[in-house]
Each structure stands twice: as C-alpha cells, then as structure tokens.
Amino acid sequence: MAAANPSPILPSYFIFMFFIIIPCATALPDEILRKDIAGHLRTDPESTSKASADYGNLVRETPSAVFYPSTIDEIISLVKLSNNLSTPFSVAARGCGHSVRGQPMAADGVVVEMTSLAGNGAGVGVGVRVSWNPALGFFADVGGEQRWIDVLEATLEHGLAPVSWTDYLYLTVGGTLSNGGISGQSFLHGPQISNVHELDVITGTGDFITCSKDMNSELFFAVLGGLGQFGIITRARILLHKAPSRAKWVRLIYNDFSKFTRDQEHLISSDSNGPNYVEGSLITDNSPPNNWRSSFYSSFHQSKIRSLLKSNQGLLYSVEIVKYYNDLTADTIDEELETMAKDLEFVPDFMFKKDVPVIDFLKRVAIGDNHNSEVHPWLNLFVPKSAISDFNDAVFAQIIRKHNHTISGPILFYPFNRIKWDDRTSAVIPDEEIFYTLGLLHSSMPDEVENYEKLNNEILEFCEKSGRKIKQYLPHYKSKEDWVKHFGSKWDSFREMKTKFDPRMILSPGQRIFNSI
C-alpha cells in the first residue's frame, strides 16, 4: 500500500500557515444567485474558512460558498442546479468535519453544512423519530445531519438505543455511514453500516431516492461505506434494541502479544453470554493508559501499570471489555464476568473494573479544547488475522518503538468478525474471517507533523512490502492507481455506480477518488 496523501498534505508548519492565508476563491456561476437557494449561501470568510478545514488540520481547500439548507428540497435544488450547468460546481456534504484528510471539503465548490438541517431545535430536518413495525421491530428514522449523541439521547427517552456505535459520538450519521462506523460492538453487531434498514439519498443528479436491501438496492449498498460518492444521505432508518441500563467495564493488561490477541479472538467468538463490547490498545510511554479517549485509571493504578511497562521494554497491551446489565441481571452479572475472564491470560493482578451507567460508557470519549491548534495525522488500517504476528514484530516492536518519542495518542488494536460486514456495501475490508483494526490517533503540533507522516509512511511501506491485503479505514490516497488497488475487486462496480448516480462527478471531491491524478 503506497503512502497516501490526497492533495495538499502539508509538509511543514510554514506551508501550513501559507495555506491558511490563501484568499477565498469565488467561482460560482451567476445562476446560483437567481435561485431560491441563494439566501442560504454564504461566501463570508468566517463561513468559507470553517468549511476549508477539518479535524485533521492538515489540508486546506477553500470553497466558493457554504450552503446552510433549511430543507432537503433546497439541497436537491442546489445539486440539480450544478447538474444543469455546462461546467458543474462540486458539492460536498459536511457533517461535523471530523475527517482528517480534507474529505468534507470542496475546493471552489459548495460545502453543504448538513447540521443546519438539525435547525438548533427548530426541527427543520428529519430529526430522530422512533417507531415500531412488525417486520423491523423498533427503529429510528434519523436525519443524515444528526450526531450519534443526539440519536442516543432521543432514543433513550423511549428506553431504546442503536446497537452499534463509534467510540466518539459527536460525528454525524451521514458521515459515519459513508465510512463504516466502527467500535467495540462491531464484532457482535457489525459496523454501523450493517445496522441500517433504509436510506433517503439525494444522488449526484439531484434525484431523491429511498433505498434499502430490497428497493433500489444498488444505491443502498453503494452509499454505505461509499465515501460520499453517490449521494447525500438525508435519512437513515436505524435498528434499535432495548437500551441496557448499566455496564461492567473491565480492562486487562497483557505483556505478551500472542496472549493479547488470542484472548481478544476468544472473546469475540463468544456466544450470547459473552461481552457486548471488545476493544484493545497498546500502552507505551507516550501512549499512556489514560488519554483523551478515556480517563479510566486512578493515579495508583496508573503508577502500577507504569512500573510494569518499564519491566516490559516500554510496550504493553490492554483488552477492554464491557458487559451490559440491568435490574434483572444485576444479581448474576459478577458471576458472568468471572466466568468470562476465567481462562484469560492477562498479567495476574492486572484486571481493573468499573461499574457505570451505560450512557456514561457510551459518552466516554471527549476530544478536549485544544484540538483546533493541533494537527491529527491519523492512520487507520484493517489488518487480516494472518498478518498480525508479523505486524507486531515489524510495526509494534520495531517501528513504533523506534518512533516512541513521536507517538502521542491512543493506539487501538482490536478484532472484528468479517461475517458481520455485508460485502455488498462499498466498505473495503480484508478477505479473512477475522481482521483487526489499528488506529494510530496521533495529535501533534503543526511543526512536528513531518515526524508523524514519516512514521505513518514507514508503516504503509511495511504493509505494501509484506504483500498482505492490509486495507486503510477512512482511506486517503493520492493516485487513481492507489484507489483502484484499495478497492480491488470492488473497483469496477464502484466506478459503475459513480457513472450511474453521479455521472458529472459533483459529490464529495475532497475524497480525491475520481479527481485524483
């Protein structure tokens, strides 16, 4: 897999500054000003500047205008208008802008601020509507602009909740369904894209289409994991279950990679009495047990883990398990946990437990206030099970150790069951029954970003040389060739769907797929 920089990934602080001060381009046709949508377009520097950045803070692409829709019809008009022009302008839906490589941007085009449909309580969009029918059971119709935290809060009022989450809930439904939406529940329920019954989509031709597995299924599967290439999701029908009330939350520390992965795989193979959530991570000097993703440990426990880390050449592994329970199972939950942990081979006396309301567990990740001044050169990979041992030897024990002084964020590593992913979606995963996700969630100051890119590139080079089918999650590439390689056997149909649903290549140009070199 080649090193992947779509477009202006910035090599140094100075260039970073240079991009910030590029003046806003204005390339919109006059027709746009005569339409009913003109009143929702803004070209002021505050709007365009916000839409020209994302969480990564690595790419700057200035749109000509930002569109703040108050209805879905207005988005349809915007996309249709672009289609009717001899030279269409690009349109990028933007959720919370939590991408890291410019994916929600549209250089010289129009960025659609999807969250303006949420209307700050004015209820202009779909919102979150909970229903039941005999075929589906409980489900929620949710606007594509809704954040998962909003979905959680609204569904909990009915004693219900989605089953598959992301770790961080301040992401939009449209944004995560365009990627996958993964977390520690994915081994059991699949990613978020496996838990959607139906979608409303505005295609690149401005058609408004309702789709599901049985209705307009080509579009349905293309859009899920489709990186925003085929349509703008305005509604998703999401499966709900009865919400659990409390969570037993456990972390186990390992000093041996084989035991760490063997136990994770054992846990994700469990029957219905097993855990509801399984994740794993690495602990190093600069990736300590407590970080912005969660402050789990007391200071006493942190110092105990630090001592163990010292005696293990600065590398430990941690498995995180959650088992939900409620009043009915409160008497038996501890016994169930004990049974679950009985044969696990963590370091004796390195099991740490918490007992919290489920909502506290689901809301555990907060990104803090200083993320705007930092850059986030994240790297997310899916590694097939057959490659993890080599991956540990080369990446964890060598590359990451070598760059230990550079690492400054969580390093996630945990497995999924392929069977819980629907191969008809656009999401790309390794073709083995079990694969792991690696998340290197770096935060750095802008002048240190080169070191992080060097580390990422070394890992990507290892992946490429190993010949293993390691795939990027939240992918970013700079060449068409790399995209074709990434999609593999899915490329032909991905391209065919683009021709069908967005033939003029209007949507989500920031992904740099059809507009790459």
**What positions carry a catalytic annotation?**
98, 167, 279
Applying CB under 6 A, the span of 30-38, 153-161, 178-186, 443-451 interacting with ligand FAD comes to 178-186
Pick 289 or 475: Cβ nearer ligand FAD: 475
Helices 491-501 and 480-487: crossing angle in degrees, nearest 10, is: 110
| Residue with token string 């031709």 | 205
Question: Residue 21 phi/psi, 5° resolution?
Answer: -95, 5
Which one among 41, 110, 182, 388 touches ligand FAD, defined by CB under 6 A?
Answer: 182
* Cβ neighbours for 319, distance < 8 A, ≥ 6 positions apart: 251, 252, 254, 260, 263, 264, 267, 278, 279, 280, 344, 346, 414
Compute the chain's Rg from CA coordinates.
23
Considering the rule CB under 6 A, would residue 172 count as an interface residue with ligand FAD? yes
Window 122 to 151, contacts with ligand FAD (CB under 6 A): 144
Considering the rule CB under 6 A, would residue 437 count as an interface residue with ligand FAD? no
Which one among 179, 291, 456, 472 touches ligand FAD, defined by CB under 6 A?
Answer: 179
Which one among 5, 52, 164, 166 touches ligand FAD, defined by CB under 6 A?
Answer: 166
Least Å from the CB of residue 179 to ligand FAD: 5
Considering the rule CB under 6 A, would residue 510 count as an interface residue with ligand FAD? yes
Window 358 to 377, contacts with ligand FAD (CB under 6 A): 367
Residue 262's Cα: distance from chain center in Å?
26
DSSP string computed for 330-351: TTTHHHHHHHHHTT--PPTT-E
Pick 120 or 133: Cβ nearer ligand FAD: 120
Which one among 167, 200, 279, 320 touches ligand FAD, defined by CB under 6 A?
Answer: 167
Distances in Å between the Cα of 5 and the Cα atoms of 11, 330, 438, 517 are 11, 50, 19, 12
Considering the rule CB under 6 A, would residue 186 count as an interface residue with ligand FAD? no
Considering the rule CB under 6 A, would residue 508 count as an interface residue with ligand FAD? yes
Considering the rule CB under 6 A, would residue 6 count as an interface residue with ligand FAD? no
Least Å from the CB of residue 363 to ligand FAD: 13
391 backbone φψ class: left, alpha, beta (φ>0; ψ -120 to 50): alpha
* Cβ neighbours for 376, distance < 8 A, ≥ 6 positions apart: 55, 56, 57, 58, 100, 441, 442, 443, 444
Which one among 125, 174, 384, 475 touches ligand FAD, defined by CB under 6 A?
Answer: 174
Nearest CA among 201, 212, 25, 226 for reference residue 111: 25
Applying CB under 6 A, the span of 59-67, 82-90, 175-183, 336-344 interacting with ligand FAD comes to 175-183
Q: Where are the alpha helices (DSSP H) in 195-256?
A: 217-223
Applying CB under 6 A, the span of 4-12, 176-184, 205-213, 330-338 interacting with ligand FAD comes to 176-184
Whether 60 and 8 have beta carbons less than 8 Å apart is answered as: yes
Nearest CA among 469, 467, 484 for reference residue 431: 469
Structure-token pair, residue 262: 């063997």
Give the 3-state secondary structure of residue 113. strand
What b/e string do you get for 273-289 counting C-beta neighbours within 10 Å, with b at 16 or more?
Answer: ebbbbbbbbbbbeebeb
Which one among 4, 41, 107, 114 touches ligand FAD, defined by CB under 6 A?
Answer: 114
Applying CB under 6 A, the span of 168-176, 261-269, 272-280, 464-472 interacting with ligand FAD comes to 168-176
Beta-strand pair 196-203/208-212: antiparallel
Show the binding pattern over residues 311-350: x = contacts ligand FAD (CB under 6 A), - = does not: ----------------------------------------
Pick 346 or 361: Cβ nearer ligand FAD: 361
Least Å from the CB of residue 368 to ligand FAD: 10
Applying CB under 6 A, the span of 60-68, 242-250, 353-361, 508-516 interacting with ligand FAD comes to 508-516
Considering the rule CB under 6 A, would residue 95 count as an interface residue with ligand FAD? yes
Which one among 3, 15, 25, 96 touches ligand FAD, defined by CB under 6 A?
Answer: 96
Which one among 6, 63, 69, 104 touches ligand FAD, defined by CB under 6 A?
Answer: 104
Structure-token pair, residue 407: 């690492």
Nearest CA among 122, 91, 108, 105 for reference residue 56: 105
* Cβ neighbours for 419, distance < 8 A, ≥ 6 positions apart: 433
DSSP string computed for 189-205: H--GGGSEEEEEEEETT
Share of the chain residues as helix, strand and coil, in percent rounded to the nearest 5: 35, 25, 40
Pick 54 or 341: Cβ nearer ligand FAD: 54
Considering the rule CB under 6 A, would residue 209 count as an interface residue with ligand FAD? no
Considering the rule CB under 6 A, would residue 5 count as an interface residue with ligand FAD? no
Considering the rule CB under 6 A, would residue 199 count as an interface residue with ligand FAD? no
Pick 47 or 176: Cβ nearer ligand FAD: 176
Least Å from the CB of residue 62 to ligand FAD: 16
- What is the Cα–Cα distance from 255 to 312, expressed in whole angstroms? 7
Pick 104 or 190: Cβ nearer ligand FAD: 104
Question: Residue 237 phi/psi, 5° resolution?
Answer: -95, 115
Whether 58 and 100 have beta carbons less than 8 Å apart is answered as: yes
Which one among 51, 126, 188, 232 touches ligand FAD, defined by CB under 6 A?
Answer: 232
Least Å from the CB of residue 114 to ligand FAD: 5
Residues that bind ligand FAD (CB under 6 A): 54-55, 92-99, 103-104, 114, 144, 166-168, 171-172, 174-176, 178-183, 227-228, 232-233, 367, 474, 508, 510-511
